[in-house]
Structures are given as structure tokens and as C-alpha cells.
Amino acid sequence: MEAQWASRERNLERFVTEQPPYSILVRGIEEVLPTVQRHGMGTLTYSPLGGGWLSGRWRKDAASAPTSSARPSARFDMTSPANQRKLDIVEELAQLAEQAGLSLIELAIAFVINHPGVTSAIVGPRTMQQLESYLPAADVALSSDVLDRIDQLVAPGVTVNPDDNSYGAHELTAQARRRTRP
């Protein structure tokens, strides 16, 4: 809002797009999407599979550590209560996807790209097989019943594991400041 106001007041180019993370497990951006829509901005989201959590790779019966050391450990520590909650949610979502005749990947991507405030999503497949598993989601329209069930599992605007927050006013937190004030 402030950037849009400053651009208007100073006759400058305005921001035209926002690039937040967005998935069923990381829904904090939903509080911002109405503002983005109101200002006619595009929203290019990333990580609709929640860093792999919604690909089906990490499941309760076969939870393993990520193969990349570049992944923050707090996001994938399977002993963490927040990540245990994510495992529970993934199990519920896998069942929901199956009931809807979809793969978990299709459900997750369709959830993101069908939000009216989302212009597009960066999916980031590493292989052709991954890309081919993502593409059917472009033609999926989720029913109100499916969306309602997702909202029951993860409420709108909620990020299940706070360590997954890579978006927001982190620069305003005390630990991010160069100097603290008394």
C-alpha cells in the first residue's frame, strides 16, 4: 500500500507484480491478495508444492530428510511439532485428492493457480517427468467442497510452520535490526 501511494504521489512507476510463496501449507499471502487485486497488480507465486511437502515425497509412513543441504533444516526437521502437523495435513490432503480423482500434486497446484488473486505460479520442476505430473493441474477446477475441506485443514491466511515464512516484514523484527533501541 505504501509503495503504491508513494508512486502515485510522486508520479513514479508503480509496482506491477508481487512474488510471494503460496501453497496450501503457506497461506499467509491470502491477507495481501485482495490488496494486490485492488491495485491491479499481478501475483507470480512460487513454491505451490510447499518445498516438496505437497509432492507426496514426505509422508507419515516414509518421512525422510531432504537431499539438499540448501534446504533449511527447521523446515524439514521431522521431529518438530509443526512439521509433524504438516505430515498429518499431507495425509489428509492425499486422501482428499484421491476422493476428487486427482493426484496430490494436481490438487496443490490447482489450489494455487485457481485463486482469483494469483496470476501465475512458478513450479520449478527438475525433470521432464515432474513437469508432466504438474501440467494436468492447469485444467483442474476445485469444487467448493474440496476448497472448504482444505480450509478446514489449513485456515486461510495461516502458515502451518512459522519457519516456512520467507515472506513478510522480517526486516522489522528485533533480531533483523542492526541496532536495537532501549
Query: How many CB atoms sit inside 10 A of residue 157's CB?
Result: 12
Residue 178 included in any domain = no
Residue 6 included in any domain = yes
What's the whole-model pTM score?
0.84
Give the three cell numbers for residue 140: 483442474
Residue 113 included in any domain = yes
For residue 91, the enclosing domain spans 2-63+71-159
Higher pLDDT, 2 or 110: 110
Residue 173 included in any domain = no
Rounded mean pLDDT of 3-30? Answer: 88
Residue 165 included in any domain = no
If residue 45 lies in a helix (H) or strand (E), which one and from where to where?
strand 42-46
Please check the confidence at residue 126 and state whether its pLDDT lies above 60: yes
Cα distances (Å, whole numbers) of residue 180 to 53, 168, 171, 172, 176: 36, 20, 12, 11, 9
Please check the confidence at residue 102 and state whether its pLDDT lies above 80: yes
Rounded mean pLDDT of 96-124? Answer: 97
Residue 153 included in any domain = yes
Count of domains forming the chain: 1
Higher pLDDT, 51 or 4: 51
Query: Which domain CATH number covers 29?
Result: 3.20.20.100
Higher pLDDT, 175 or 37: 37
The C-alpha atoms of residue 30 and residue 52 are separated, in whole angstroms, by: 20
pLDDT-above-70 percentage for the chain? 85
Residue 174 included in any domain = no
Rounded mean pLDDT of 95-118? Answer: 97
